[in-house]
Amino acid sequence: MSKKNLSAAVLILALCAAGAVLTACKGGSAKGGEGAEYKEVIQSWYGENKEITPASSAAADVQGSSYDSLLAVKCVNGKFVGKLNDDVIAFRGIPYVGRQPVGKLRWKAPVDVEPDDRVYQAYYNAKSAPQPEVEVASFYPQGEDCLYLNVWKPAKTDDQPMPVIVWVHGGAFSYGGTVDPMYDFHNFVQENPELVVVSVAYRLGVLGFLHLQHLPDGKDYPDAQNLGLLDQMQALKWVHENIAAFGGDPDNVTIMGESAGGGCVTQLALVEGSHQYFNKVIALSGTPGLSRSREDAIECTDELMEALDCHSVADLQKLDAEQLVAASMEAIPLRIAPERDGRLLPTDPWQAVAHGAVKDITFLQGCNKDEMNFFLVGMGGPEPFIEWADDRKEWKLATLTHDEMARVESYCNDIEGEDYEPYTRLFSQIMFNAPCIRLSENQTMAGGKAYTYYFTVESANPMMKCGHGMALAPLLKHPELDGDTGRPFDETFSKTMRRMWVQFAKTGNPSLTADLSPDGKDKQWPLYDIKDKHVMVFDEFNIHPEKEAQRKIVDWQRTYFLTKLGAF
């Protein structure tokens, strides 16, 4: 394995080592000898949803043969029965495809559902997509039959259709799943009973994002490079056709994601025909820049084929998912992403945004102050991080001109502090800060709307600072999952942030009047504009707008141009 891949493999482990995986069981730990117990707890959550058949006795109800009609919702592909808990009904493991992508359907586009009048339990999360065992969802049972979604709705509703949020999880396009306790929206909906929330599972890694068309028999797999996005599109179609039965408004849908999930939702907005399914996007630390070129995708496939000693898709089809996942983690870790194939995604997403491809979609998006510090901590500290960053910098910046490289070196040389800080700052710029600002710039130039934020609240861990994912626990109302934050954030601050996100989902404007704001103070969030470049700064005790120049989120001369490189 090359040094580049070895270093990336270390970073993959960082995705979980730094945080939520260690607290997913409300205080449980995956460290040391407790790892097996931790995995056992997560696997104990698993169950298989079954068909519910007519029954005439109360005893049969206990066995799942009968059901409470008040907890049932009729959808195109069946009637699904959820579970009630504290005025919130959760429906878990609803299939959004007609056939799961197994066997001959591996690397094929998702199959639409068919009408079905039968009744099914929706009690348990479905299997996680195949992935290495390195984070919460990965310890849950896995399988290629993983295309399901979950729905949370308030038990008490009126006849007014409710706004809908569809959540797409992150995890470097190779990890994660809806079973992660961080993505349980019970608390969120209980606090905000005027909306419906959906979480979507999708194919990950080389089963969801693998270029195959250049192989001898690859012409039969034209969608393999972007199947994860097509899965999400199919889920959005299902939501559009069925969410009204849950009380949701199919004409007021916001798609929301963080990290790779943020990349997905911004990229979905660029997919032809997608705008019929949503009108707003919330992207946390994710942009269209989290994608790769066709050339990079082909290079990754060739390296994987060599590692597996395979020569065709037929050869790959003979291998089980576990073999494919293990080989990809060894050969091409942290290099998997949606492909700018010119078919589903434009070859230049920035140009597409600037030319108005998403101007009818309203965006709320932003980044954290110290994104890469999450990876610094996750790798185990400065020494392994600097080793990775040196290697990654050489590889990533290899195509720059002499002048461009001089600008980058000037930026790094001007950063004072610890020896790792030039690296954390540079890669924060490449992967998160500069793409975030460019998305708002291009969207605004095209005549579209972008509400932009800058999250600054710091972890109790001084090295973590305000790292990647820091906003998740307070935003999704899980203060108990504080592996990254190291502490609960101020509750009024957290509730205000949640209320602004909900207000955006409801109206397309996250601003709060004093009567809606938890602290009783008016919160006017200005649109990003080309002249003043306003962003909303989320300081823990002072949510307020500023001009970008006051915070210097991006270095316009020395890092902004790096958005052309993409993140992978």
Which positions are annotated as active-site residues? 259
Place of tokens 């259709």: 161
Question: One-letter amino acid identity for 395?
Answer: W
Contact 516, 503 (CB under 8 A): yes
The values of phi and psi at residue 367, to 5°, are -145, 170
Nearby residues of 175 by Cβ (< 8 Å), 6 or more positions away: 12, 15, 16, 131, 132, 134, 135, 137, 138, 204
CA distance 99 to 105: 8
3-state secondary structure of 78: strand
Nearest to 504 by CA among 369, 370, 366: 366
CB atoms within 10 A of CB 44: 9
CA distance 66 to 53: 7
CB atoms within 10 A of CB 413: 9
CA distance 465 to 306: 40
The DSSP output letter for 203 is -
CA distance 244 to 162: 9
CB atoms within 10 A of CB 394: 11
Show contacts of 506-511: CB within 8 Å, 24+ apart: 506/163, 506/194, 506/195, 506/252, 508/279, 508/280, 508/362, 508/449, 509/451, 510/364, 510/451, 510/536
CA angle, 144 then 145 then 148, to 5°: 125
CA distance 333 to 325: 10
